[in-house]
Amino acid sequence: MNDRTKIKELTNRIDEILYYLWDPIGVSDEPCTRGEYSSYVGIITRLVIEENELKIIEKLSEIESVNMGLTQNSTMNKQIAKRLLEDLYAVQEGLR
């Protein structure tokens, strides 16, 4: 994916998915925490563009366990990885 507009759209979608759907620490109901997961958007975007579901799941699990000190939620991470890839395909097809 080389189109800057599409990459920007994908990045925005990933940021929202991480905050509103993934949300492992449960902060999405507090507006002042909106940037809580923003530092992970770049690496997750790269993995999504590579279309490697397993690497996405592994990275989300690593973030939960290593960065946050939480127990990995493999079921949720798999669901999120699938959703991220669905959004990639939607962006590639120009769907909103």
Note whether 73 and 64 are within 8 A (CB): yes
Q: The domain containing residue 38 runs over which residues?
A: 4-92
Domain tally, the chain: 1
3-state helix/strand/coil string of 50-95:
HCCHHHHHHHHHHHHHHHCCCCCCHHHHHHHHHHHHHHHHHHHCCC
Below-70 pLDDT ranges, the chain: 96
What integer pLDDT is reported at residue 96 of this predicted model? 63
In this prediction, residue 63 carries a pLDDT of 98
